Amino acid sequence: MSIPAFGLGTFRLQGQVVIDSVSTALSLGYRAIDTAQIYENEGEVGQAIAASGIARDELFITSKIWVANFAKERLIDSLRESLAKLQTNYLDLTLIHWPSPEDQVPVEEFMGALLEAKQLGLTRQIGVSNFTIELMKQAIEAVGAEHIATNQIELHPYLQNRQVAAFAQSQGIRVTSYMTLAYGEVLKDPVIQQIAERLQATPAQVTLAWAMQSRYAVIPSSTRRANLESNLRATALTLGEADMALIATLDRGHRLTSPKGIAPHWD
């Protein structure tokens, strides 16, 4: 089973804001929606999906298990709670959101529980998020690379995370880029802007197309219909080799997300 190259992220969106974002995106043709237990919006996302009337098998729904639910006796129950909020019998993809702080729950334990959830039919695919190379190796040892669909990581032109991406891809693990627009920082970059002007595209479209052409899945979020519609058009944009090479030079190791007490020792 493949992971859609393009979807909608819902990080930091709650209440009516996330209902409107998901509803608008679905009406525009989005079919992949990404949420998480810690976003505290699964209920609203489920509400928007249910109201859309779109058949479940046309959608690709992802959620992520929060660190407080990693213990074997808690993980599957927490996933069932997420399913109830999302008003669905299964997820298409369930991820471990962050590594267990200070290895309180061993990788083998939570990956084993996640694989059990897959075997129970609660999720079609499983994967990880914010995992380093070493943590990916531990996850592979626990359940096998064939059971790890993706590693969702911060990845944008200013943080290209090449070592992690290359290792994941070498194991057949798809990379999903989050924060692909770097909170809008890369949209002001002169290189991105010049490419956009020449291609008659927006800086956001150029950045998203760069990530997808690098074989990464993307999940940009927006609360504005115009931006949701514009971002979706990135799927039809093709960058030349010279453009890709120029964007490759923008990497500066600029990490935007590294929560204290949770983030691993990054590669």
147 known member of a binding site: no
Torsion of CA 61, 158, 40, 28, to 10 degrees: -50
Active site residue 39: yes
Selected catalytic residue, list 30, 39, 158, 216: 39
DSSP per-residue letters across 184-240: GGGGG-HHHHHHHHHHT--HHHHHHHHHHHTTEEE----S-HHHHHHHHGGGG----
CA distances from 182 to 126, 163, 179 (A): 26, 19, 5
Q: How far apart are CA 142 and CA 61, in angstroms?
A: 25
Please identify every residue annotated as catalytic: 39
Residue numbers belonging to the annotated binding site for substrate? 97
Residue numbers belonging to the annotated binding site? 97
